[in-house]
Chains A and B, each alone.
Chain A
Amino acid sequence: AQSVTQLGSHVSVSEGALVLLRCNYSSSVPPYLFWYVQYPNQGLQLLLKYTSAATLVKGINGFEAEFKKSETSFHLTKPSAHMSDAAEYFCAVSSGGGADGLTFGKGTHLIIQP
């Protein structure tokens, strides 16, 4: 069984500040981990993925995430927030990459303060 916990349903940061969105996972097998972003009234867009290669993964729009097995974490960061980053962010886990259904966390709503 797999599960994902995202700490903080809402995170508010100032424009230009560091963005940190937390994700912890539980998996009985080596996991595949994903971050997706959902802008208002849109579908999901893949930000980045971890698939057992490099533990520090770089994605689109300046986001990156680090896989830490000892902490079962896959936190998402961005050095400097931009107003356009305001959206819902979902962490997801899979045991079979894209060939298995994804288990999603509850999501974190990122608010950017001007």
Chain B
Amino acid sequence: SAVISQKPSRDICQRGTSLTIQCQVDSQVTMMFWYRQQPGQSLTLIATANQGSEATYESGFVIDKFPISRPNLTFSTLTVSNMSPEDSSIYLCSVDWGQDTQYFGPGTRLTVL
């Protein structure tokens, strides 16, 4: 299975600021995904990030709020911009590991005050 790390593991931020979350995989993967898990809720897909192309965003998520970079096949970042308390969530990245399987990172727990 994939070994996926995320930084930071948690953070507390002030409203109006931005936070960039990093996702690192130990092997090259084509597809990476970013999800949001709001408190006590399920996971919602934010966007799909392919290396070498623009991220594809799901309905309700926009690039200005959640810009994503995918500079190579092992790394991606998600920025949460101009944060408000409603952005307090766990943000998880996942990778398509082939064989119809996605593996998830440990998540980044974000609290916005």
Which residues of A are interface residues toward B (Cβ below 8 A)? 32, 34, 36, 42-46, 49, 51, 90, 92, 97-107
Contact = CB atoms under 8 A, between A and B. Distances in A.
Contacts, number: 57
Contacts of A104: 42-44
Contacts of B53: none
A43 B107 CA distance: 6
A98 B42 contact: no
B104 A44 contact: yes
B99 A98 contact: yes
Interface of B: 30-31, 33, 41-45, 48, 58, 92, 94, 96-107
A99 to B, nearest CB: 5
Contacts of B58: 101
Max chain A Cβ within 10 angstroms of own Cβ: one of B31, B42, B96, B98: B42
B48 A101 contact: yes
A76 to B, nearest CB: 16
B72 to A, nearest CB: 19
Contacts of A49: 100-101
Contact of A98 (B101, B105, B106): B101
B101 A46 contact: yes
Contacts of B30: 99
Nearest to A99: B96
Max chain A Cβ within 10 angstroms of own Cβ: one of B31, B33, B43, B106: B43
Nearest to B40: A107
A32 B101 CA distance: 10
A97 B98 CA distance: 8
Given A98-B101, A99-B31, A99-B96, 12 more contacts: A32-B100, A34-B102, A42-B106, A90-B42, A98-B96, A98-B98, A102-B43, A102-B45, A102-B94, A102-B102, A103-B45, A106-B41
